[in-house]
Chain A
Amino acid sequence: MNDLLLQVAGLRVEFDARVALCDVTFDLFAGETLGLVGESGSGKSTLARAILRLVRPCKGAVVWRGQDLLSCKSAVLRGLRRDMQIVFQDPLASLDPRMTVGESIAEPLRIFEPDLNADARRARVGGMLQKVGLTADMIGSYPHEFSGGQCQRIGIARAMILSPKLLICDEPVSSLDVSIQGQIVNLLLDLQRDAGTAMLFISHNLAVVRHISHRILVMYSGRLVEIAPRDALFAAPIHPYTRALLAAVPSGVPMQRAGPMPPVPLKAFAPRPPGTGCAFRDRCAYALAVCAEIVPPLEETVPGHWAACHRARELVEPV
Chain B
Amino acid sequence: MPPVLRIVDLTVSFSHPDRTIHAVRQVSLAVAARESVGIVGESGSGKTQVFMAAMGLLAPNARADGHVLFGDDELLGLDAKRMNRIRGSKLSMVFQDPMTSLTPHLKIGTQLAEVLVCHAGKSWHEARIAARRMLERVGVPEPERRLNQYPHELSGGLRQRVMIGISLLCDPMLVIADEPTTALDVTVQAQVIDLLGAMRREVGMAMVLISHDLGVVADLCDRILVMYAGRIVESAGAVELFRQAQHPYTAELLKCIPGLSGPLLERLPTLPGQPPQPGQTIEGCAFAPRCARAAARCRTERPLLEGLGGADAGGHANGGHARRVACHFPLSL
Contact = CB atoms under 8 A, between A and B. Distances in A.
Interface string B137-162: 00111000000000000111110000
Contact of A179 (B154, B193, B218, B271): B271
Nearest to A40: B185
Interface stretch (B86-94, B121-129, B259-267): B259-267
Q: How large is the interface on B (under 10, 10 to 19, 20 to 34, 35 or more residues)?
A: 35 or more
A245 B189 CA distance: 11
A54 interface: no
Interface string A177-188: 111111101100
Contacts of A244: 187
Given A245-B186, A266-B157, A269-B155, 8 more contacts: A177-B42, A189-B267, A248-B190, A251-B219, A254-B242, A258-B261, A261-B190, A264-B191
Given A204-B186, A252-B215, A261-B190, A182 B269 contact: yes
B258 A250 contact: no
B260 A258 contact: yes
Interface in A164-196: 177-183, 185-186, 189
Interface of A: 39-40, 147-148, 177-183, 185-186, 189, 204, 206-208, 210-212, 234, 244-258, 261-262, 264-269
B260 A249 contact: yes
Interface in B194-228: 194, 212-216, 218-219, 221
A181 B253 CA distance: 11
Contacts of A204: 185-186
Closest 4 CB pairs of A and B: A250-B215, A182-B268, A182-B270, A248-B190
Contacts of A182: 256, 258, 267-271
B285 interface: no
B65 interface: no
A31 to B, nearest CB: 16
Contacts of A40: 156, 185
B185 A266 contact: no
Given A211-B258, A253-B242, A266 B139 contact: yes
Interface of B: 42-43, 139-141, 154-158, 185-191, 193-194, 212-216, 218-219, 221, 238-239, 241-242, 252-254, 256-261, 264-265, 267-271, 274
Contact of A250 (B141, B191, B218, B269): B218
Given A178-B212, A245-B186, A250-B219, A186 B257 contact: no
A267 B190 contact: no
Q: Most chain-A Cβ atoms within 10 A of its Cβ — which of B154, B194, B212?
A: B212
A147 B256 contact: no
A174 to B, nearest CB: 9
A185 B218 contact: no
Contacts of A265: 141
Given A39-B185, A148-B43, A262-B187, A252 B268 contact: no
Contacts of B271: 179, 182-183
Q: Most chain-B Cβ atoms within 10 A of its Cβ — which of A245, A252, A265?
A: A252
Contacts of A246: 260
A255 B238 contact: yes
A207 B267 CA distance: 13
A210 B157 CA distance: 25
B257 to A, nearest CB: 5
B268 A208 contact: yes
Given A40-B156, A179-B42, A255-B238, A267 B216 contact: no
Contacts of B158: 266, 268
Given A250-B219, A252-B218, A268-B155, A179 B270 contact: yes
A68 B238 CA distance: 54
B190 A257 contact: yes
Contacts of A261: 190-191, 194
Contacts of A181: 256, 268
A267 B214 CA distance: 28
B174 to A, nearest CB: 21
B218 A254 contact: yes
A186 B264 contact: no
Given A257-B190, A258-B260, A261-B194, A183 B219 contact: no
